[in-house]
A and B are shown apart, each in its own frame.
Chain A
Amino acid sequence: MSDDLKVPGFKASELISRVSETFSGLSDTDKAAQIKKVNGVFQLQVTNEAKEVANWTIDLKKTGTVYKGEAKPKADVTIILSDDTLTDLASGKLNGQKAFMTGKLKTKGNMMLATKLDGVLKVQPKAKL
């Protein structure tokens, strides 16, 4: 299943399939809680070093799934960024605000949702205050 998500030449493939596995590993109540909290459809428009473009969609509004390609029917927010930026975001080397301010990340649609992307991508458990 996760192989369907991979796009050759994209480091983000790994990340995406990891996010997808996290989602499928969640219990229904966990998933419902996550959907309740985020409530949005993210489309990631990723450009790699070879200037190829790949799209993935993270649906945290209805189904709680990840799929390859553009959002169907429509993304709440499209996040346009490079392959490297996406991996850095997920690993925590970069945060969304910094990426946005330095122009590494662009958004189309509801930016309020884009600010939640950090949390969606970080699948590692986080220590709490």
Chain B
Amino acid sequence: MESLISGAECAVPFNPLSQVLKHTEGDRSLQQDRVAGPSSARLHQLPGSSTAGATQHDLALARQFFESGPSVGPGFGAPNPAELARLHELSGRPLSEANEGWIMEQQHLMRAFESNGAWANEFGAGKSAALSQAPQTAGPEYHQRPYMSSAGQFGGPMQMPMGMGMYGGGMFPAQMQPGNGKGKSREADFEAAFAQVVAAHAQEPAETSRIVEVQDDTAALEDALEKTKLDDEDGSKSEFKRVWDTLQNSDLPPPQEDMAKWEAEFNQLMTSQRDDLDYDYGGAMKSAWEGGIGDFSDDTSALKWDQDGIPILGEYVFEPNNKYLGPEHSALAEAKMLLEQNGALSEAALLLEAAIQKGDLGEGGYEAWILLGETRSMDEREDAAMRALAEGVKRAEAAGAPGVGMLSLAISYTNESMDRASHAMLLRWIRSRFPSHPIPEETIAAIATNAAWDTHQRLTEVYLGLARSQHSRGEMDADVQIALGILFYTNSEYDRAKDCFETALSARPTDFLLWNRLGSSLSNGSHPEEALGAYREALQLRPTYTRAIYNVGVACKKKRLEHFLSALALQESTGAETSEQLWFTLRRAFATMERPDLVAMTQPESRASLDAFRRQGFEF
């Protein structure tokens, strides 16, 4: 059995056929062994054992499945702060509902400010006029004119959003005092006012201050300055104008100093906020950037991902010295025939590669690519499979056949624990296959921004909705069931995944891929014995199915040990001495697994309780 497993994992590349066949033989003997063994009684319950019974069983399961409804409520949607740091959200998307309001307000203010072009022109004119005059002599009467005329225009937009309460309430009275032209004192007033603005700004809800942090500090400062301007206009207009002129256009003590002071003050306020929150947003953003979107640090070996979490793997790498490249082969047709006749998968893959290299791409220019990807995946070569399938999916989309190959690609991503990529692909598939099925905008947006835990939830709801509406019309789409199965599988809900694959099998009983998927759901869901039944079905249909052989090994290794352990547990429960022979067998099995820690646990002096093995993930 061990040789079977290791063999499947490192099949000798130059003689794959004989390798695979050898393993298949080994595997069958093993299966017969299993079937004949003590667990055969349970195998009779397998769908493969009685097809008619299984169909009934499946239908019952399907009914139960559809009617039970999702166990999870729709309420989960609160984004984690770390999520908020993601770049996409920062570039314009609302960070949270609380902030959304704030951002809207800001934008509204800015628009109101900017839309007053006429005022801005006049202001500009006044400013340039002021430049030509000595600032100190600029009397109030000069500024009266532009402001009075602009007051009418400003009345509408200014009164509504500003309200004076939030940002400028405190400084209003100070600015109301009649100006006497003393630049210095005005300046002091302005400084105090600014400090208040900053303080008010900083006392916004915690979320708000976070935004300010991750944005550019100077941008926030400018923001605050602009608000101050607006506030002044509502209050003492000429006053503000004077202050503005003295600050901007005069030779008075350089404003930079004050700016520096304000900035220091502002930074201080912000820093104190930051300490309170005890959260390094810059760091979080950096790591989100590096980890979630793409790593632009010096570490070039890391896998790159696109914005939907799909790995950027690069071009498919063809095998060198492909003997099928010659003109005597009509590679694509031969490959299909070989697959049909249960030929070796690596030979079929070579034929398909040759076909692609010769430009014989099959239907729509994508068929050969997708077939190659699926063949590689069956042959337990996931990296090559993903590259070929990604190419095939791209070509299928370009050829106006969207959706083709996407499920296979989603499965490859799932096997490689690339959950986000898998979810992104499943979303693309459902959108191209069922364009009329409603999908919430939020769900589409969430794929690019949210973590797999959230996107899984959202996608599952979408797919369950689709499956239910099909069910209510008396339809059952095996592909939708497969997609649902993948979703449950990515979330370790193997029982539900199993139900989905069983339902799909009821429509496609000869799909060996589906049998294997059912098997791996059972195996990972701690039913390795039943999994063996499903693998057996898959291997009867396709004896060269490397992945199913590999999976048999996974299921057996663990199951065999669990048999030993449950035997020991039985002995223990009757109060008898546990069998030294069993312990020895167990120890030897652990040794072959290269698990010295478990070997140590079987030594007589360190045997505490069988529960120790349960904690190691064994179930018996």
A interface list, Cβ under 8 A from B: 2, 11, 14, 17-18, 21, 25, 32, 35-37, 39-40, 61-62, 74, 76-77, 87, 90-92, 95-97, 100-101, 107-116, 118-119, 124-129
Instruction: Name the CB-closest residue of B to A108.
Output: B82
Q: Is the CB of A74 within 8 A of B617?
A: no
Q: Is the CB of A97 within 8 A of B284?
A: no
Q: Does B524 contact A (CB under 8 A)?
A: yes
- Minimal beta-carbon separation of B198 from chain A (angstroms): 29
Residues of chain B within 8 A of A61, CB atoms compared? 299, 302
Within 8 A of A (CB), among B359-395: 380, 382
- Minimal beta-carbon separation of A99 from chain B (angstroms): 10
- Minimal beta-carbon separation of B429 from chain A (angstroms): 15
Residues of chain A within 8 A of B444, CB atoms compared? none
Residues of chain B within 8 A of A118, CB atoms compared? 417, 492
Residues of chain B within 8 A of A74, CB atoms compared? 283
A6 to B309, CA, bound (A): 35
8 Å CB contact of A129 from B301, B418, B486: B486
Q: Is the CB of B617 within 8 A of A92?
A: yes
Q: Is the CB of A109 within 8 A of B287?
A: yes
Q: Does B484 contact A (CB under 8 A)?
A: no
B interface list, Cβ under 8 A from A: 72, 76, 80, 82-83, 283-284, 287-288, 290-292, 295, 299, 301-303, 309, 380, 382, 411, 414-420, 451-453, 456-457, 486, 489, 491-493, 516-517, 519-520, 523-524, 526, 531, 547, 550-551, 554-555, 557-558, 594-597, 615-617
Residues of chain A within 8 A of B411, CB atoms compared? 129
8 Å CB contact of A2 from B284, B290, B597: B597
Q: Is the CB of A112 within 8 A of B617?
A: no
Residues of chain A within 8 A of B491, CB atoms compared? 95, 97
8 Å CB contact of A76 from B80, B291, B451, B554: B291
The answer to whether residues A127 and B555 also contact, given A2-B597, A25-B594, A92-B492 and a CB cut-off of 8 A, is yes
A110 to B416, CA, bound (A): 20
- 7 closest pairs, A vs B, by CB? A127-B520, A127-B523, A97-B453, A95-B492, A112-B292, A119-B417, A110-B287
Q: Is the CB of A124 within 8 A of B617?
A: yes
Instruction: Name the CB-closest residue of A to B493.
Output: A95
- Minimal beta-carbon separation of B194 from chain A (angstroms): 35
Q: Could you list some 29 contacts between A and B, CB below 8 A?
A: A11-B615, A14-B615, A18-B616, A21-B596, A35-B301, A36-B303, A87-B615, A90-B617, A91-B617, A92-B526, A92-B617, A97-B491, A109-B283, A109-B284, A109-B287, A110-B291, A111-B80, A112-B309, A114-B451, A115-B453, A116-B417, A118-B492, A125-B557, A126-B524, A127-B520, A127-B524, A127-B551, A127-B555, A129-B517
8 Å CB contact of A39 from B291, B519, B596: B291
Q: Is the CB of A39 within 8 A of B299?
A: yes
8 Å CB contact of A110 from B284, B301, B551: B284
Q: Is the CB of A112 within 8 A of B597?
A: no
Q: Is the CB of B83 within 8 A of A111?
A: yes
